[in-house]
Amino acid sequence: MDIKTIDALLNKINESATHEGNARTKQVVNRIIRDLFITIDDLDVTPNEFWSALNYLGEAGQSGELGLLAAGLGFEHFLDVRLDEAETKAGLAGGTPRTIEGPLYVAGAPESTGHARLDNGNEPGETLVMRGRVLGEDGQPVRGALVEVWHANHLGNYSHFDKSQAEFNLRRSIRTDENGTYSFRSVVPIGYSVPPEGKTQQLLDLLGRHGHRPAHIHFFVSAPGHRKLTTQINIEGDPYLWDDFAFATREGLVPAVKKEEGATGKPYGIDGQFALIDFDFSLVKERNNVPTSEVERVRA
């Protein structure tokens, strides 16, 4: 179809508006519709294909997998890269790299100062201690910063979404102490995959892709006057470390996992061998000339 014919059709649609509406919504939606019209025409998308795609999106929404789909199709990582670019343009450098939040955060986890235990003591897996500081732009520790941490259990499932787990299992909020330090005890998480029978996997199969994530731990790190950090650390050695279906692994987010035992475990009540990760989070100051790093989205 001639592009002029497409644009004439779009004009007719746009001119059917009877009131002002929302300028931003009109701008974005009208652009997407034009791009899709052109795609349908260029690729000769059949009516069957169109309705099949629309039905797919409806089912993906009903099954609650649109957040997973956004991660798997790279949208969430793309938004991170764009925010990185905006920060670089504004002359903002340094800080722990951000990476995707994913769709499984739950607000309201129990809060403590300095240290927290994330598991209930019955969690299978290798005992883990992660500890470090939250640092400001000047390299000085930030006291009272909030480290929100959440990760999957040994089956790759998250509490709240997995009703077999206790409320807030493997989820905590830790305030850094007067020295700007945090620590937590938990078990080393394993990697997981999107639901094998789900809508995300269905599309990934058609794209010739897998739906695996390497083992990781999620964080929000925030402190007054600083840009909120959304990030993850990965567990080194995972076979999917650099082959994440959600593209979240980044340089600087793969700390060493050390094998420890003895006195190092004492402060955390650990007698035997355990895995230890030392990791400092670095925050940058909030600025007016950069888009906010505080993302609004519907969360549990």
Asked about 56 being catalytic, the answer comes back as no
Six-digit token pair at 235? Answer: 């567990």
Catalytic residue chosen out of the listed positions 131, 216, 226, 227? 216
Q: Would you say 102 or 265 has its CB closer to Fe ion?
A: 102
Which residues from 3-42 bind Fe ion, rule CB under 5 A? none
Asked about 77 being catalytic, the answer comes back as no
Q: What is the DSSP letter of 293?
A: S
Smallest gap from residue 63 Cβ to Fe ion (A): 18
Q: Would you say 216 or 226 has its CB closer to Fe ion?
A: 216
Smallest gap from residue 271 Cβ to Fe ion (A): 30
Which residues from 92-151 bind Fe ion, rule CB under 5 A? 102
Concatenate the DSSP letters of all residues of 50-119 into one string: HHHHHHHHHHHHHTT-HHHHHHHTTHHHHHHHHHHHHHHHTT---SPPP----S---S---EEESEEE-S
d(CA 206, CA 144): 47
Asked about 192 being catalytic, the answer comes back as yes
Question: How big is the site for Fe ion, counted in residues (CB under 5 A)?
Answer: 1
Return the H-helix or E-strand segment holding 146: strand 146-150
By beta carbon distance, the residue nearest Fe ion is 102
Residue 83-102 contact track with Fe ion, rule CB under 5 A, x = bound: -------------------x
Return the H-helix or E-strand segment holding 204: helix 199-206
Burial call 257-294: b when 16+ CB within 10 Å, e when fewer: beebeeeebeebebeeebbbbebbbbbbeeeeebeebe
Catalytic residue chosen out of the listed positions 77, 98, 158, 171? 158
Catalytic residue chosen out of the listed positions 98, 185, 218, 227? 218
Catalytic residue chosen out of the listed positions 213, 226, 227, 250? 213
Contact 176, 183 (CB under 8 A): no
Q: Would you say 142 or 215 has its CB closer to Fe ion?
A: 215
Q: Would you say 72 or 102 has its CB closer to Fe ion?
A: 102
Residues that bind Fe ion (CB under 5 A): 102
| Residues recognised as catalytic | 158, 192, 213, 216, 218
